[in-house]
Structure 1
Amino acid sequence: MHGASVKVCLEGAVFMALQHLHIGFDDTDSPKRGCTTYIAALLVEKLEKLGVVFTDYPNLVRLNPNVPWKTRGNGALCLRVKCDSKMVDEIKELVLTVVEENSDLTFRGTDPGVVFLSRARVPREVQNFAKDAITGIVNLKTALKLIRQFKAEAVGFKGGRGIIGGLAAIGETLRGDHTYEIIAYRKPENYGKERRIDKNSILEMDKATAPYTFNNVDYETGRVLITPRGPDPILFGIRGESPEIVKKAFEMVKPLEPVERWVIFRTNHGTDAHLKRVEKLSQLKPFHPVIARGMVTVNPRIVPRRHVIFTIGDQSASVDCAAYAPTGMLRKVASKLIVGDYVEVYGSVRPPSAGHPLTVNLEKLRILKLASKVVYQNPVCQQCGKRLKSMGKGKGFRCEKCSLRYPNLSKVAVKVKRDLDGGLYIVPPRSQRHLTKPLVRYGLEKRRTTEVKLIERWHHP
């Protein structure tokens, strides 16, 4: 029976079987303050002091980045532990206290939720719910139904919408592709102040650990990406392929202000987990991240603020695609497309609004097949080879050098070399979402993970 406590006697000794407990929580922060990962970091320290055993790194699960009611990064957290069954109530009380004390409950859009699931294996139905929360839209009613079905417990503050993310974080077990992030946190007295880190140490770290860490620096602009810009408690975060490499990178960075604590998370960052392929353009839904194919049916046009819009279509529907100015190279590539190009678009579906149809906001663009580009030119003189001049519409051509006239000739089609290559194009690092898989990760994906081994000192304190 799941969650049962069993005593086993062996040569006079008594052992207590440990109970598995998954703790998911979400929606604790606001644009003004707080961070759900910081609550996880606090709980790691407090739970270890209680004597629990962590069976995984804290899981940082980014959900669908397009939901209109998300908090900043739409990241939910799950802590997976084993503990004495007698401690479960104490653990739950501790978690709820820490969540309540560190959530921005005064902010209108913050509705924290906590979910506890006491069983070793996460049910397939809960895993499917997590996939839906990452790739689409789910609701609280469905979450509560699953919580009742599998005898989990949920506690919501205010509207309790965070219960959705809490359950989704439990359900996303990260058995497929995943990455790691080490996050360092500031002392409270430095919240809201400029973050102080030696930039040269970041550049050296990036070069020393590439390609096994990613999105540390945007070299096109020189902007450091490991430091957030808001008033949250994070000093910096480094993402990479293994706990060892992110810890090595962390040790190379030289902060110029005190670090209060740090933790290594296992996460779906940089995996494209949010993108879901649709077979037909008619299947596109607002707020869903998608991968879709189609042929360019309307040439790109530049709209105010230098955004590029083009239209693709298939037999079922057509849709606008937008490459915004901050997307850098992706915008330039999009502007060179022509009618007939066959492409694959990756991005979020923006709902229609006044003056704007349903639109895919591009994160990536793969050019599958380039159409031939043809221009029409005046023919050449059959005697001297010089390009002829038009004598007027429908009147033919004449040669200025030879004075010969060609009343029956027409313009000739000439195939022009395209200033564009097939392949995959991605927005620059500064514009990438948490979930967007960067180019350096292609070929480094993890296919299947059955067991997680925690390194020594994966957090402090």
Structure 2
Amino acid sequence: MRAAPVLLISERDLPEEWYWSAVREHVELEPRVREIRSHSCVMHSGDESWGAVGASAAMAWQPNEHSTWELISWRDESMIGKSRMVSSRVVREMEKQHPETFVNRDPTVDRGLIAPRTPCPVLYGIRGSTARCVEDAHRWLQSRNDVEQSLRWAVHRTNQLSDDHVRGVSLGTVITLPMETKGAHSHISVFSEGVKADLVAFSEGGPVNKLFRRLVAGDRIAWVGLNSPDGSVHLERLAMVDCVPRVVSRPSCCGRTMRSAGAGQTLRCLFCGSNAERTWVSQDLYLGDIDMVDHWSEPHPSNRRHLARPLQLSTPKR
């Protein structure tokens, strides 16, 4: 689908529900356009007007205590289309100098995230917890001779990192093994609040997908995700609440695994003839190789939605 920008003008506040439906559900264009016109809004668009959904949602949004700030810096027209001079090294140093800014880089691949990768007029965008901190970070960047100079800039209050698109934490018990689908995505079924639910982890999920693939029936998990039109939940964060023991083998004797002596019989060592009760040897699930914060996993910064709140800022409350 091609970009279809819309300019929307209103002399009064618009229903906040327009915002929530846009970030959490699928909004049909024509009904929304009728609502916009019923509120006497002025709308300018080209042949297509899909931008009306986003524009009306943005105007209906009400800032709150979860709001963040972003400074957008624009390039000189003569520089548009050329490589941006905003190195990962400089972004890393900016992050150290201005700790109230966030999601500046992806440390897993040592790549800066503030500069777009498209030939657009934006030089960079700095996100932070206050308007002052993003402005200070911008001035620090612009004071350097190894950073491209910006033509102009502006600070915006935003809904980024707000988690407004999700409805909180869910708990459930795994009832199937993970199954891989096309594109290396995985899905499992869980039992949650008396009903069966299907969870999907995408290959781009990194740590989430890694934890997801180790689940077995009986594991208790917590998750945060987005409800998709097909009824499944697309995971954004995943935590292990309680895991069942992982069966490894039968007990060993004389350096070998003991074998069953027959139906209903004890185990027997085939080397020395010793007997033992019919048991299994199990071990705890090892998760030390998965990046987690307080038992929660999340995708790497490069693969998160703009609305997703990083675990470094807060972990989901169960």
Specify the TM-score bucket, using the shorter chain as the normaliser: 0.7 to 0.9
1:147 has 2:36 as partner = yes
Which residue does 2:284 correspond to in 1?
Answer: 417
Q: TM-score with structure 2 length normalisation?
A: 0.83
Which residue does 1:334 correspond to in 2?
Answer: 212
**Corresponding letter in the other structure for 2:297:** Y
Which residue does 1:318 correspond to in 2?
Answer: 197
Which residue does 2:244 correspond to in 1?
Answer: 372
Structure 2 gaps of 5+ residues are 289-293
- Once residues 135 and 304 of structure 1 are traced to their aligned partners in structure 2, the CA distance between those partners, rounded to angstroms, is 25
Q: CA 1:203–1:411 in structure 2 vs 1: closer, same or farther (change >3 Å)? A: same
- Once residues 45 and 31 of structure 2 are traced to their aligned partners in structure 1, the CA distance between those partners, rounded to angstroms, is 15
1:297 has 2:297 as partner = no
- Once residues 11 and 32 of structure 2 are traced to their aligned partners in structure 1, the CA distance between those partners, rounded to angstroms, is 16
CA radius of gyration, larger in: 1
Q: CA 1:248–1:299 in structure 2 vs 1: closer, same or farther (change >3 Å)? A: same
Quote the offset at 1:257 in angstroms.
Answer: 3.0
Structure 1 gaps of 5+ residues are 1-68, 70-108, 278-290, 353-357, 444-461
Quote the offset at 1:203 in angstroms.
Answer: 1.3
Q: CA 1:226–1:400 in structure 2 vs 1: closer, same or farther (change >3 Å)? A: same
* Selected match of 1:440 from 307, 312, 315: 312
* Comparing 255-264 and 414-423, the one that deviates more: 414-423
Which residue does 1:113 correspond to in 2?
Answer: 6
Quote the offset at 1:400 in angstroms.
Answer: 5.6
Quote the offset at 1:195 in angstroms.
Answer: 1.3
- Once residues 255 and 54 of structure 2 are traced to their aligned partners in structure 1, the CA distance between those partners, rounded to angstroms, is 71
Q: Deviations over 1:23-49 (max 9, x none)?
A: xxxxxxxxxxxxxxxxxxxxxxxxxxx
Helix, strand or coil: the match of 2:17? helix
Q: CA 1:158–1:387 in structure 2 vs 1: closer, same or farther (change >3 Å)? A: same
Q: Deviations over 1:225-253 (max 9, x none)?
A: 11111121111111000010001111222
Q: CA 1:144–1:359 in structure 2 vs 1: closer, same or farther (change >3 Å)? A: closer
Q: Note if contact 2:69-2:156 (Cα within 8 Å) is conserved in structure 1.
A: yes
Helix, strand or coil: the match of 2:52? helix
Helix, strand or coil: the match of 2:306? coil
* Selected match of 1:249 from 137, 160, 174: 137
Quote the offset at 1:145 in angstroms.
Answer: 4.1
- Once residues 298 and 31 of structure 2 are traced to their aligned partners in structure 1, the CA distance between those partners, rounded to angstroms, is 35
- Once residues 149 and 251 of structure 2 are traced to their aligned partners in structure 1, the CA distance between those partners, rounded to angstroms, is 74
- Once residues 11 and 284 of structure 2 are traced to their aligned partners in structure 1, the CA distance between those partners, rounded to angstroms, is 63
Quote the offset at 1:179 in angstroms.
Answer: 0.4
- Once residues 273 and 29 of structure 2 are traced to their aligned partners in structure 1, the CA distance between those partners, rounded to angstroms, is 82
Which residue does 1:7 correspond to in 2?
Answer: none
- Once residues 192 and 146 of structure 1 are traced to their aligned partners in structure 2, the CA distance between those partners, rounded to angstroms, is 39
Quote the offset at 1:377 in angstroms.
Answer: 4.6
Quote the offset at 1:397 in angstroms.
Answer: 3.5
Which residue does 1:272 correspond to in 2?
Answer: 163
Q: Note if contact 2:223-2:238 (Cα within 8 Å) is conserved in structure 1.
A: yes
Q: CA 1:234–1:396 in structure 2 vs 1: closer, same or farther (change >3 Å)? A: same
Q: Deviations over 1:322-368 (max 9, x none)?
A: 231x322222222222211222333344555xxxxx6433221133x
- Once residues 6 and 81 of structure 2 are traced to their aligned partners in structure 1, the CA distance between those partners, rounded to angstroms, is 26
Q: Deviations over 1:167-197 (max 9, x none)?
A: 2211102134110011111122322222112
- Once residues 164 and 128 of structure 1 are traced to their aligned partners in structure 2, the CA distance between those partners, rounded to angstroms, is 12
Which residue does 2:111 correspond to in 1?
Answer: 223
1:363 has 2:227 as partner = no
Q: Note if contact 1:376-1:412 (Cα within 8 Å) is conserved in structure 2.
A: no
Which residue does 1:103 correspond to in 2?
Answer: none
Q: Note if contact 1:186-1:234 (Cα within 8 Å) is conserved in structure 2.
A: yes
- Once residues 378 and 424 of structure 1 are traced to their aligned partners in structure 2, the CA distance between those partners, rounded to angstroms, is 33
**Corresponding letter in the other structure for 1:163:** A
* Comparing 386-395 and 233-242, the one that deviates more: 386-395
Identity across aligned pairs (percent)? 26
Q: Note if contact 2:185-2:200 (Cα within 8 Å) is conserved in structure 1.
A: no
Q: CA 1:424–1:332 in structure 2 vs 1: closer, same or farther (change >3 Å)? A: same
* Selected match of 1:430 from 298, 302, 305: 302
**Corresponding letter in the other structure for 1:116:** I
- Once residues 160 and 27 of structure 2 are traced to their aligned partners in structure 1, the CA distance between those partners, rounded to angstroms, is 20
- Once residues 118 and 304 of structure 1 are traced to their aligned partners in structure 2, the CA distance between those partners, rounded to angstroms, is 48
Helix, strand or coil: the match of 2:177? strand
Q: Note if contact 2:260-2:268 (Cα within 8 Å) is conserved in structure 1.
A: yes
Which residue does 2:121 correspond to in 1?
Answer: 233
Q: Note if contact 1:322-1:359 (Cα within 8 Å) is conserved in structure 2.
A: no
Which residue does 2:291 correspond to in 1?
Answer: none
* Comparing 333-342 and 214-223, the one that deviates more: 333-342
- Once residues 312 and 104 of structure 2 are traced to their aligned partners in structure 1, the CA distance between those partners, rounded to angstroms, is 12
Quote the offset at 1:112 in angstroms.
Answer: 2.7
Quote the offset at 1:159 in angstroms.
Answer: 2.6
- Once residues 35 and 66 of structure 2 are traced to their aligned partners in structure 1, the CA distance between those partners, rounded to angstroms, is 25
Q: CA 1:411–1:177 in structure 2 vs 1: closer, same or farther (change >3 Å)? A: same
Q: CA 1:388–1:135 in structure 2 vs 1: closer, same or farther (change >3 Å)? A: closer
Q: TM-score with structure 1 length normalisation?
A: 0.59
Q: CA 1:171–1:414 in structure 2 vs 1: closer, same or farther (change >3 Å)? A: same
Quote the offset at 1:206 in angstroms.
Answer: 0.4
**Corresponding letter in the other structure for 1:419:** Y
* Comparing 176-185 and 393-402, the one that deviates more: 393-402
* Selected match of 1:202 from 91, 101, 122: 91
